[in-house]
Amino acid sequence: MDHHLLYIGIAVAVIVLLIAVYCFLRFGHIKRKPKLKSGLDLDKLVAGLGGRDNISHLEADGSKVVFQLGDARQIRAEEIKALGASGIVSSKDKVSIIFGKVSEPLAVELTDYLKNR
């Protein structure tokens, strides 16, 4: 009789374990934002550039991203530097922001971001 209880206990434990593994594999994956190659928060960057309506064009140029802006006075340099920019050079309607190695992927990601939002 004791052996039967042992076998039943083991069977119940195996079933509980299988259900736990199934639930983890089926439902355990948390949906997260896809990891960006640039690693930057695009919402904060766009806000730091004066909003999406202020950005008329952008392109990567080596270690920097050059933005054509409606009004370069709207940029918030400290917020952009807090995102990882090592320097900002602005003129009347253009702003060059040095992001180093992530400039190319950032330009691609930001272009897609602006088109799809």
CATH number at residue 51: 3.30.1360.60
Same domain, 25 and 62: no
Measured CA to CA, the distance from residue 58 to residue 111 in angstroms comes to 8
Same domain, 78 and 51: yes
pLDDT in tens, 72-83: 889 999 999 999
pLDDT of residue 34: 54
State the chain's mean pLDDT as an integer: 88
HSE-CB at 28 with a 13 A cutoff on CA atoms is 7
Measured CA to CA, the distance from residue 83 to residue 39 in angstroms comes to 9
How many domains would you assign to the chain? 2
Amino acid making up residue 37? K
Domain, as residue range, for 111: 42-116
Q: Beta partners for 98?
A: 64, 87
Is 37 inside a domain boundary?
no
| pTM as predicted | 0.67
Nearest partner of 43 among 90, 110, 95, judged by Cα = 110
